[in-house]
Amino acid sequence: MSTPSATRVRVIAALVMAPFAIGAILLLPTSWLAMLAALVFLVGLWEWFKLAEIDDTLPRTVLLTANLLLMVLLVWASRGSPDLVPLRLVSLLGVVWWLLALLWLLRFSFASNHETWARVFKLAAGTLAVVPAWCALGLIHASQPNGHVWLLIALAIVWAADSGAYFAGRHFGGRWFGGRKLAPRISPNKTLEGLLGGLAGGVLVALVGASIVGAGLAQLPAVFAVAVATVLFSVVGDLFESLLKRHVGAKDSGDLIPGHGGVLDRLDGVLAALPVFALGKELFGF
């Protein structure tokens, strides 16, 4: 349970970060936003390597450089593709990965030891989480019309889901489902009531945002469905990072952000949500 002072620090940090993130999304061209996002995502990946027990700086630097080169290669390959096919394929791969990650969550002890093979799985998981999410971010922002606003809506869905889950969990946790937890071995504080609160918050923001950006009434059911999937996948991303932390006995992925832990602690749900939102937006054409 957070203390009042810890909660205050958390809120202040969020209020400081939010204007910069929103301003970058709405004002920067896609190329510049993609570079800025790559920096943030790679910091999160650096923390992921720590959770995968890659403790030495040199191996982590080599692995990070390899992922950066993969991003550069994808941009280069997409320059000759008017439909940005390489980015779309990698984003779709991200959706497939998070479906597999759901199976991983059901097998709590998989890759939980400290052997080399377990690290390999977790390192591959890091690339499959971070690179497709970065591709999806670029695709959403570059989409026409109003791609920058749709990206803000996608992120706001995750932020609202986090806030809705926190509020519902604190006020209603344990009351509606007989005290049953969402994933007690992975994240004991998450409740089913919190999940419903997160769904309500994320869907509400999606529908309001879509209406503001000009989505027609006939498109709102599709927005609703994509928002539900986006929230659910963001929960999978959150739980997966919690699983990694449980395996190594860590509370946070880092301490870079006051009151929030590491960058990965803020990105976990976003990494899973963005490929799903990008795919849904593509399929339904909103």
Instruction: List the chain pLDDT tens, one digit each, 286 residues.
Output: 445 555 566 677 778 888 999 999 999 999 999 999 999 999 999 999 999 999 899 999 999 999 999 999 999 999 877 789 999 999 999 999 999 999 999 988 888 887 778 889 999 999 999 999 999 999 999 999 999 999 999 999 999 999 999 999 888 877 888 788 899 889 988 999 999 999 999 999 999 999 999 888 999 999 999 999 999 999 999 999 999 999 998 888 876 766 567 899 999 999 999 999 999 999 999 9
pLDDT for 7: 58
Amino acid symbol at 12: I
Lookup: tokens for 114: 């400290």
Its sign, for the CA torsion 122, 123, 124, 128, is positive
DSSP code, position 286: -
Helix, strand or coil, per DSSP, at residue 47: helix
Burial 15-49 (b: 16+ CB within 10 A, else e): eeeeeebeeebeebebeebbeebbebbbbbbbbbb
Report the 3 state secondary structure along 132-148. Answer: HHHHHHHHHHHCCCCHH
CA distance 42 to 134: 10
- Report how far residue 146's alpha carbon sits from residue 11's, in angstroms, rounded to the nearest whole number: 29
Could you tell me if 207 and 187 are in contact, meaning their C-beta atoms sit under 8 angstroms apart?
Answer: no
CA 58, 62, 65, 67 torsion: positive or negative?
negative
Burial of 57 (0-12, 13-18, 19+ CB in 10 A): exposed
Q: In angstroms, how far is the first alpha carbon of the chain from the final one? A: 40
Instruction: Tell me which DSSP letter residue 177 carries.
Output: S
pLDDT of residue 138: 97
**Within 10 Å of residue 135's Cβ, how many Cβ atoms?**
28
Q: For the whole prediction, is pTM greater than 0.75?
A: yes
The alpha carbon torsion through 9, 36, 164, 169 (nearest 10 deg) reads -60
Radius of gyration for the alpha carbons in the chain, expressed in angstroms and rounded: 18
Which 8-state DSSP code applies to residue 115? S
CB of 270 within 8 A of CB of 158?
yes
- pLDDT score of 1: 47
